Structure 1
């Protein structure tokens, strides 16, 4: 058992093996770089439009918020209702944030642009709702 996956754990090593077998080392590197680039683009565009970015974008995660917790929560609900992208709620240092995870090899720059537009439209809805 020293050199094999633990049988009491979910067999994640099989998924990893399949990815490495399919993409190869360079393919995995390219995938990771692409996901990180998309996350950086997402964060940059949101920041330019007045959203607060709470984390350094070093991989594929973006933590974003609006002016208040209530506005952030309403914005998230509107984003999820629109269905252009999906993201979840989280808490960062006591504040409500929206957690974005860019995690699909199929994500394009156009998908990021469309998602940013959804964030802006959702924030507008959140600001006008009671």
Structure 2
């Protein structure tokens, strides 16, 4: 099965969420899909190590926006999905589930992950 949104945002952190919010503030009325590995709605990551972990804030209070916001703004959130391949010339993403997404424009806001170590090869 293939989805075909106008814009796909890979990443549901601050960058991805702000991109979707900005598009709607700028009156973009095309379809937007956000894809992210997290199973939760976009949330604040910096305070996660502070207020949330010491139980000063409930999880709901660190969400960037409530679920109703994303629904009202017609942003299709695909949570718990990982992108496994990008064919930039064909404008197609492949997801870990095997589904494909054909897009008009791609915003890559997935951030990065720390490598456990870096192995340098001798030249």
Give the TM bin, normalised by the shorter chain. Answer: under 0.3
Provide TM-score, normalisation by structure 2.
0.24
Larger radius of gyration: 1
Structure ranking higher in strand proportion = 2
Structure ranking higher in helix proportion = 1
Provide TM-score, normalisation by structure 1.
0.23
Q: Does 1 or 2 have the higher relative contact order (CA < 8 Å, sep 6+)?
A: 2
